[in-house]
Structure 1
Amino acid sequence: MPPDRAASILDFLALADRLKTVERRGRVVLADGTTRRENSAEHCWSLALIGTLLHADVAASLDLGRALMMVAVHDLVEIEAGDTFAYDTAGRATQAAREAAAAETVFGLLPEDLGARLRALWEEFEAGETPEARFAMACDRMQGFLQNVLSGGIAWKDHGVTVVDTLPRMGPAMEVDAVFAALIGRLYDRAAEGGLLGGAR
């Protein structure tokens, strides 16, 4: 491997390591019962595990490797753009522009061929048109919902999130496959039982 290529890859990996410092609104419950904010790298690992568990059960034929590559890169832009809370209306209004600018910086660190490959995966995820992208999106949204249920709905309660607020986000995930509909439906039931979301389903 040419020295310049090796240096670029190592520089990119050093930047990518900063995803571990990007905090999300979801909470992680610690062994002593206290909580801390989840970081985006933990989120990516969790949804990769969800994808690994569920891919054989979905009806669509898909390339799990490609879906997992999207999972690995889909939040790298947050290193520069920050995480945007799913229910932050003002933040979501500027999210696409902030993340597109961040993509230039993040993927621009790599050698041209690798940068183009990772950027294409990120764009595929964002477009949500291929079976792999739709599957990855459903895993992504399920993971965030699951994290809120596991932590007692702290982030939801802090921001006054209601069942109605969640439907535009979770509905498309449930439509990807009956597997997601069943699992997310059970999570809604648990949220209702625990009084974690405002409003009725």
Structure 2
Amino acid sequence: MNMERLLKQIEFIKQIDQLKYIARKTKLFNSDRHENDAEHSWHLAMMAMVLLEHANEEVDLLKVIKMVLIHDIVEIDAGDTFLYDTSKDHVNTEEELVAANRIFGLLPEDQAEEFIAIWREFEAAETKEAKFAKTLDRFEPVLQNLSNQGGTWAEYDVELSRIFQKIGVIENGSDFIWEYTKEEVQQCAEKGIIRNK
């Protein structure tokens, strides 16, 4: 047994508790309470197991689960950037890379390297696992907004074309989920809940 290794792992475990304090703009289903990053990551992991059959390609479920559990840990340092923010680009990978190196660097070297590699793979969204993980990451807040009368779309007056621009990556991981998403979001616009432009 390696005590130094265990102590590094415990330090990382303590650090990631901070994820529970990172508030997201989206709210829980049918709720006024904002979701936090830890809840979001847990929900995505469950969605990966439940929705696996709808992936465009056969994927490694464990790898997808690792991705969705790891992907937002960098926000402990970098903060959560709202997907529809007009003042800051949601793709702030450089800032997040510094965070990834610091936070995952708390782990023993082999684990740190694995976690950083998984995080980078998710961000690049090129592998079939990363595409499906990104599908889930975009799909969950869509479902939340639909359950909350437009949620952040209505609150921040986001027009339909911008919504589709931002959530279009859903199709890369699941054509079937994308078809459902398009129809539901379009209906939301037709009801006047969001701006139909």
Q: Same fold (TM over 0.5)?
A: yes
Between the two proteins, what is the percent identity of the paired residues? 35
1:166 correspondence with 2:163: yes
Question: Counterpart of 1:60?
Answer: 57
Flag structure 1 segments of 5+ consecutive residues without an equivalent: none
Secondary structure of the structure 2 residue equivalent to 1:92:
coil
| Deviation digits for residues 95-138 of structure 1 (CA, Å, limit 9, x no counterpart) | 22221111121111111110000000000000111100000001
Q: Does the Cα contact within 8 Å between 1:160 and 1:198 map onto a contact in 2? A: yes
One-letter code of the match for 1:84?
T
Shift of 1:29: 4.8
Report 1:79-94 matches (<5 A).
79-92=76-89
Q: C-alpha distance in 1, partners of 2:91/2:168?
A: 23
Shift of 1:190: 4.6
Shift of 1:71: 0.7
Q: C-alpha distance in 1, partners of 2:132/2:194?
A: 25
Secondary structure of the structure 2 residue equivalent to 1:75:
coil
Report 1:69-148 matches (<5 A).
69-92=66-89, 95-148=92-145
Question: Counterpart of 1:41?
Answer: 38
Shift of 1:8: 0.7
Distance 1:94 1:188, change over 3 A: closer
Question: Counterpart of 1:14?
Answer: 14
One-letter code of the match for 1:27?
K
Q: Does the Cα contact within 8 Å between 1:60 and 1:131 map onto a contact in 2? A: yes
Flag structure 2 segments of 5+ consecutive residues without an equivalent: none
Shift of 1:193: 5.3
Shift of 1:191: 2.2
| Deviation digits for residues 27-56 of structure 1 (CA, Å, limit 9, x no counterpart) | 1256xxx51111111111222222211212
Question: Counterpart of 2:193?
Answer: 196
Q: C-alpha distance in 2, partners of 1:10/1:95?
A: 28
Number of corresponding residues: 197
Q: Does the Cα contact within 8 Å between 1:28 and 1:36 map onto a contact in 2? A: yes
- Of 99-108 and 167-176, deviating more is 167-176
Secondary structure of the structure 1 residue equivalent to 2:34:
strand
- Of 71-80 and 173-182, deviating more is 173-182
Shift of 1:93: 6.4
